[in-house]
Amino acid sequence: MRNKAGAAGCLAVLLFAVLFSGCSRLPHEPIRRQDFLFDTIVTVTLYDKEDEALLSQCMELGRRYENLLSRTKEGSDVWRINHADGQPVAVSSETARLIETALSYCAMTDGGYDITIGAVSELWNFRADEPSLPASGQVEKALKTVDYRSVNVDGNTVTLTVPGAQLDLGSIAKGYIADRMADLLRGQGVQSAILDLGGNIYVLGGKPDGTDFRVGIQSPFDDSQLGAVSVKDKSLVTSGVNQRGFTIDGKRYHHLLDPKTGYPIENGLASVTVVTDRSVDGDALSTVLFCLGEEQGMKLAARLGIEAAFVRSDGQIVQTAGMGLS
C-alpha cells in the first residue's frame, strides 16, 4: 500500500513493540516473520506458538489485501475505481465496507480527513532523491477533485462522481489488515502475538505469563522513545511529521497533507498516538486527530472514549487521563 501519507494526508509514524521480560521466562523463543507489503515492512511475532506455517498465512493474507486495497497496484479494487472515469465499479464486499468506514470518519471531520486526496498526494514525492515542490497551479487543480461526498457506495458497487477524483485508503487499510491478521491468529489459538504493519501495532493478548506488553512510542523528532504504554489486546497507531518529508530552503515539508490546502498541515503538532480496540479505528483516528489539531482532537478522543497522546512541535506532550505514556 503505497504512501499512507496520501490518504487524508497522514501516515502512521514509527512505533516499535518491546517485550520486557522482567523476571518471567518464555517457554520458548518467539518466532517472527518479516515481509515487505504495502510499501512498508510488516513483522508478525508469535510468543506462544512455534508455527511457521501460521506466519506464512499471515503474509499471504496481507498480500491478498494489498491486491484489493492498494492505490498503485494495477487491477486492485481501488486502482480500478480510480481508473473508471466515473463509471460504477463492482468491488469485493470487504473493500466496499472499508470505504464506508473511511467515509464515516470523513463525515466526522467535515472533510478535515478525506480519502479522496489521492490526486493531491500524487503531486508530492517524499521519497525522491532530489525533491521539489509541486506547482501551485497543480495543487489548486488537484484540490478540485477532493470531496469525500463524491464517493457513492451502493452495496458492493463504488462510483466516484467527481472527474479526476482518486481514492487513497492508505490511512486506514493497514489497520484493517492488522485486524484481519489478528482474527486469523486467534482462530488458530494464538493468545500472545505482536503485529507491526509499518508502525501500526496490534498487540494480541499479553505476554505468555499473562502480564501486559510494554510498547514504546518513538519521538517524532529523533530516534529516541517518548516513553511506553502497557497494553493487552489493543492497537497503537501514530501519525506524525517525521517519517517522510524533505527540506527546501530551510523549510521542512512533511507528508501529512491538509485536504483543504493541499500542503503539509501546520497546526502546532508533531505527532498523535491513539490506543483503540480495533486497529482500523486507530489507523483512521490517528490521522483524524492530527488533522483536527490538539484542542478539537482531544475533544473527539473524549467523546469517543479512546486514549491519545498529542506531541506538540515544541516537544510537550498532552495525553488523555488513561493513556499512561511514561
- Give the model's pLDDT for residue 250: 87
What is the rounded CA–CA span in Å between residue 237 and residue 171? Answer: 11
Q: Does the pLDDT at position 245 exceed 90?
A: no
- Give the model's pLDDT for residue 50: 93
Q: What is the mean pLDDT of residues 47-52?
A: 94
What mean pLDDT, rounded, does the chain reach? 90
What is the rounded CA–CA span in Å between residue 151 and residue 9? Answer: 18
Instruction: Determine whether domain 7-319 maps to CATH 3.20.20.450.
Output: no
In DSSP terms, 16 is beta-bridged to 216
Domain ranges in the chain are 7-319
pTM of the model: 0.89
Residues 121 and 5 sit within 8 Å (Cβ to Cβ): yes
pLDDT tens column, 135-146:
999 999 999 999
Cell numbers 492530527 label which residue? 290
Three-state DSSP state, 277: coil
Residues 301 and 320 sit within 8 Å (Cβ to Cβ): yes
DSSP 12: B
Q: What is the mean pLDDT of residues 255-283?
A: 95
Cell numbers 501529512 label which residue? 256
Strands 15-18 and 225-231 come out as unpaired
Residue 319 identity: Q
| Banded model confidence at residue 126, pLDDT cuts 50, 70, 90 | confident
- Give the model's pLDDT for residue 68: 97
pLDDT tens column, 4-39:
444 343 333 334 444 443 444 455 789 999 999 988
| Banded model confidence at residue 198, pLDDT cuts 50, 70, 90 | confident
Cell numbers 480510480 label which residue? 82
- Give the model's pLDDT for residue 256: 87
Q: What is the mean pLDDT of residues 205-230?
A: 93
Q: For helices 279-292 and 93-108, what crossing angle results, to 10°?
A: 30
- Give the model's pLDDT for residue 27: 59
